[in-house]
Amino acid sequence: MAGLLPLVVPLLAATAVATAERSCPTHCGMIDIPYPFGVGPACSLPGFNLTCDSNKYSSHLRLGSPNVTVDFISASGSIASLAAHVLQSVNMPAGAGAYSASWEGPGRSFAISGSSNMSLFVLGCGVMAALLDRDTGAAVGNCSVVCAGEQVMERLPDGLCTGVGCCSVDVRVPLRAFTLNLSRTVEGIVRDRVTFLVICRDGYKFRTNDLAQGVDPNEVAPALLDWAILARADCARAVENRASYACVSNHSECQDSPIGGYVCHCSEGYSGNAYIVDGCVPNQYYGSNQPKANCPTRCGNVSIPFPFGMQLGCFARIHLYLACSPGPISPILQMTEHLVVTDISLDQGILRIQKLSGSGDFLDGRDSTLYALSGESSLVEWAVDNSTCGEAMANKYGYMCVSSHSECIDVMDDRTSRHLGYRCRCSSGFEGNPYIEDGCTDVDECLQPDKYICHGICQNSLGSFSCTACRHGTEFDAAARKCKASSTILGITLGISTGGGLLFLAAIASIASRRWKKGVQKRLRRRHFHKNKGILLEQLISSDQNASDSTKIFSLDELEKATNNFDQSRVVGRGGHGTVYKGILTDQRVVAVKRSKLVEDVEIDQFINEVAVLSQINHRNVVKLHGCCLESEVPLLVYEFISNGTLHDLLHGQRNGSLLPLSWEERLRIATEIAGALTYLRSAASMSILHRDVKSMNVLLNDNYTTKVSDFGASRLIPIDQTHLVTAVQGTFGYLDPEYYHTGKLTDKSDVYSYGVILVELLMRKKPIIEDENGEKQNLANYFLWLIGERPLKEIVDDQVSVETSNEEIMGFARLAQDCLKLRREGRPTMKDVEVRLQLLKGLTATLKKDVDPRAPREGGMKDGRESVVAVTSHDGTRRFSIEQEFECSMHLPR
C-alpha cells in the first residue's frame, strides 16, 4: 500500500472533448488521470499512455517501458509532475571491487527535475557511489559511506546522513535515466547490501536499521518526476505551430519546462486542465451544479453526499473536493494532507475531522473563508459559498439549494461570529439532500411514532402530518397503533347485559376514578410547570435562534421512560444541587438527567439560571445541555452524558490501590481545556458568565478524557460592561476566592482563583483541603504558597511530575498557579492570559521533548508501555505521516 499522497485537485479529464474520446477513463482506482495522460492511445497524447490494473482491492497505474508504477499525477498550476518510487537494493559481494546499478524513467517526457529539490540517498557500508547521467555520461555527483561497529552504529541519532551508513547526492540537473557506479573502499566495516533511493531532499531520515532491512517503499514518499510536452523545444516554438499546440483551453498559458519542452496551466483566477478545450474554469465556479452519473459515494466507511465529491463532476465547488487515499488500514478521506474527514453531515453542516500531524496549517491551500476550523475541535463547520442567503437567492445561476422544499441558512463561525457563507437544508417535514434536484423528500411522520407522537389516527401529508383523536367510543391501542373499539365501553355493555347492577356500578366507579386521577395528575403537572416558570423558559429558549436548535423542553413521560422511572440503579451521582441519573432517550441518545433537590423558589431560580446560561453556550469543553423538563415537582435538566467521571476522581481516585498515571502533557491539556472553557464563558456569549463554582469535581471527563466544565447552578450572567456584582457568597470551601469571601464582590477574577486551586491539584495531586504535617486541616492553596517558598519545586510536586518533567516546565506551571492564587485580584491574570501562558508552556514541552528524544517521532503512541490516559485522536507520530509532512517540500496544493 502506498503512503499518503499529497492532495492534488483533480483536473477536467472527463470532459476532454476535442482531444480524447468520451469514454476515456478518468481515474484508475483512486488515482485521477488528467489529460494528456490517458489509458490507451486514443485517450492520451503520445508518450502519456498508461495501463491501469485495477481490481476490487488495489489498483496500479503503469507508465512507459520499462514500466514505472505511478502513485499519482498532477497537471495543474505550474506543477506538472507525477510520483513514482525510485528505490532499489542491490547485493554487492564483499569480494567485488565495483558494481553498477541503473534506473531508467518511463520515457523522454519524464525526468527527475534538477529544480525540485530531489536527492539520491545511498545506504551501505564501505562503498563509494558515483551518480552519472546515463544520457550524457556526465557526472552528477558522488558520495561515500563508511560504517563503524554495531554498538557505535546503533547509537547514531536518526536522520543523520553524513557519510556514516548513509550519504546523499543532490540532483541539480534533469535526469531521464541514471547509472550508479559503486566501488569498494577499504576502510571500516563492509556490508554486501547497498540501497539507493531518490526522494525529496529532506524527505528521508536514515535509521541504522535500514542498512540491514532496506527501506520499505510504503514508509517513504515517492520521488517526483517532472513531465513536459516535448513536441517543441519551448513555448515560443510551440505557439508557432497551432495545430500541435497543447495549451488548447481558453484562459490557459504556456510555460517552459525545466526538463525541456513546455507545460500548460490555467491563468490566474482559473482552475482546471489547460490541455483540453474549455478546461480552464473560473475558480469560483469550478465544480458542478449537479453531480454526474455514477459518482463514487463512499470512501472507506465514510459516505460522501453531493455537494462534496471525490471526482470532477461530483463536487459542487472546488473547496468541497475531497480525496480518497489509501490509508494505513482502509482508505481515508482527505481534505488536505493534514486533515482527514471521518463524517459528513449535510443536516448539521459539519464535518467531523481528524488531524494527522500536530502542527501546521491544517487547511493549507483550502479556502479557509468557507470553513470554520477551530484549533482543538474535531468538528468543522462549512459553507457552500461565501455569499449570504440573500445574495445567493438573488443570483439565480449560482444558487445551490436546488431541491424543492429546501431552504437556505446563513452559516456563522460560532467562535468568531464571522459570516462564513450559506448552506442549504431541507425544509421542516422533509429530509434528504437539498443540493440535488428533488433531493428533499417528505418525511412520513406516521412511520416514526416514537418521534412524532400521535395517539389517534395519524395521516401523513406533504411536509407534515395530522393527528385526529379516536372517534367517540373507540380508543387508541398503542401496540397496534390504531383506534379500536373501547374496552371500557365493552365492559359497560357487558355489565348492563348481564344485568348485574353492582358490577355496573363498580365499573363506572373504577373508570371515573381512573379518569379523575389522570385529570388531577395532569393539572398537577401543569401547576408545576407554571411554578417552574415554564412560560418564562419557553420564551427564553425560543427567543434565541441558536438555542432552540438544541435546547428542548422534555415531557415528564419521556424522562421517566428514559430513566426507568428514576430507578436507583440509574443514579450516577449525587451533588450539592441534586441527583444525577443516566437515561436513554427514545432516539437512543444517552443523557444525564439531573433532578434538583429542593423546590424552594431560590433553587428554581438557580435552575432557570442554569438553563439560561447553558442554552446560550456551545463549547467543546462545556457540558452540553439538551433541555429540561418542568412538569415534575422538582425541575429536571437533561445533559449530554459524560462517561468518565470527574477530574477529582481522576486525580484522587485509586484503582487497584494505586493512582492512575497521568502524564505531564495530559495535565497541561486538561488545564488548557478548562481555561479555554472559562475564557469562552467570560467573553464569547453576549453576556459574560461567571461560573462561581469552579472545582475539580465540576470538571467532567468523557471517553477521550476531553474535559467538560459542568454545574452552572451558581453561575451568574453579568453584562460585559459591568465589572462586578455583589451577591451572597457561594462556592466551595477550598476553592473560594478570599477577596470575594470578604467583600461579597464577585468578579471574573473569582473564577481565576478557583482555577488556580485546580492547577495546584494537577501539580501536587492533593485534594483542595489537606492535613498538613501537624495534622491540621488546611487549604491546599495556602499550603502550596507556603511550601513554594520553603522547598525545591521537585519535592513539592507529584512524583510522576517530578520524574517526567523538567524544572523549567514545572516552574512555569507553578508560577501560573501562584499568580492565579494572588490574594488581591488585581494581581491575578485574566482567564485569557492564563490560556495564553498555558499554550506557551505546551510549546515548551513539545520542544523539550523533541530535543531529549530524537526517536520519539518514530515510535509513536505510548512511550514506555505504561497504562496512560492519553487521548489518542490521530496517528500522530507515526513515521508515515512525518514523512508525508516532509514531502511537502516539493509539492503544494494548487489553489
Ligand X SMILES: *[C@@H]1O[C@H](CO)[C@@H](O)[C@H](O)[C@H]1NC(C)=O
What is the set of active-site residues?
693
Which grid coordinates belong to 349? 453542516
Q: How far is CA 623 from the centre of its chain?
A: 19
Whole-number minimum distance, CB 342 to ligand X, in Å? 6
Whole-number minimum distance, CB 645 to ligand X, in Å? 23
Residue 212 makes CB contacts below 8 A (sequence gap 6+) with 191, 193
Helix 664-683 with 831-852: angle, nearest 10 deg: 160
Residue 204 makes CB contacts below 8 A (sequence gap 6+) with 119, 121, 161, 197, 215, 220, 883
d(CA 266, CA 247): 9
DSSP annotation of 746 = E
Q: Which is nearer to ligand X, 342 or 839 (CB)?
A: 342
The footprint of ligand X (CB under 6 A) covers 116-117, 130, 139, 141-142, 284, 301, 329-330, 343, 386-387, 889-890
Whole-number minimum distance, CB 487 to ligand X, in Å? 46
279: helix, strand or coil: coil
Q: Which is nearer to ligand X, 180 or 436 (CB)?
A: 180
Whole-number minimum distance, CB 292 to ligand X, in Å? 24
In degrees, rounded to 5, the angle at the alpha carbon of residue 443 between the alpha carbons of residues 442 and 445 is: 140
Whole-number minimum distance, CB 827 to ligand X, in Å? 44
Q: Which is nearer to ligand X, 386 or 632 (CB)?
A: 386
d(CA 385, CA 397): 13
DSSP annotation of 471 = P
Whole-number minimum distance, CB 141 to ligand X, in Å? 6
Q: Which is nearer to ligand X, 301 or 461 (CB)?
A: 301
Residue 91 makes CB contacts below 8 A (sequence gap 6+) with 192, 193, 194
Maximum Cα–Cα distance for the chain, whole Å?
Answer: 121
Q: For residue 878, how many other CB atoms are within 10 A of its CB?
A: 19
**Beta strands 118-123 and 193-200, pairing class:** antiparallel
Instruction: Tell me: cis bond preceding 326? Omega within 30 of 0 counts.
Output: no
Which grid coordinates belong to 90? 542491490
Whole-number minimum distance, CB 301 to ligand X, in Å? 4
Whole-number minimum distance, CB 820 to ligand X, in Å? 38
Whole-number minimum distance, CB 114 to ligand X, in Å? 10
Buried b (16+ CB within 10 A) or exposed e, 840-873: ebbeebeeeeeeeeeeebbebeeeeeeeeebeee
Q: Which is nearer to ligand X, 212 or 329 (CB)?
A: 329
Instruction: Tell me: cis bond preceding 331? Omega within 30 of 0 counts.
Output: no
Among residues 665, 626, 666, 629, which one has the least CA distance to residue 644? 666
Burial of 193 (C-beta count, 10 Å sphere; 0-12/13-18/19+) = middle
Instruction: Tell me: cis bond preceding 719? Omega within 30 of 0 counts.
Output: no
Residue 834 makes CB contacts below 8 A (sequence gap 6+) with 675, 679, 752, 755, 816, 820
Q: Which is nearer to ligand X, 687 or 889 (CB)?
A: 889
Q: Which is nearer to ligand X, 333 or 701 (CB)?
A: 333
**Cβ–Cβ < 8 Å for 755, 679:** no
Q: Which is nearer to ligand X, 58 or 301 (CB)?
A: 301
Among residues 7, 1, 23, which one has the least CA distance to residue 72? 7
Question: Torsions phi, psi of 726, nearest 5?
Answer: -100, 120
Whole-number minimum distance, CB 369 to ligand X, in Å? 7
d(CA 639, CA 708): 11
Burial of 452 (C-beta count, 10 Å sphere; 0-12/13-18/19+) = middle
d(CA 889, CA 322): 22
Whole-number minimum distance, CB 828 to ligand X, in Å? 41
Q: Which is nearer to ligand X, 15 or 113 (CB)?
A: 113
Whole-number minimum distance, CB 747 to ligand X, in Å? 39
Among residues 285, 255, 256, 288, which one has the least CA distance to residue 269? 285
CA 77 → CA 80, 269, 319, distances in Å? 8, 11, 16
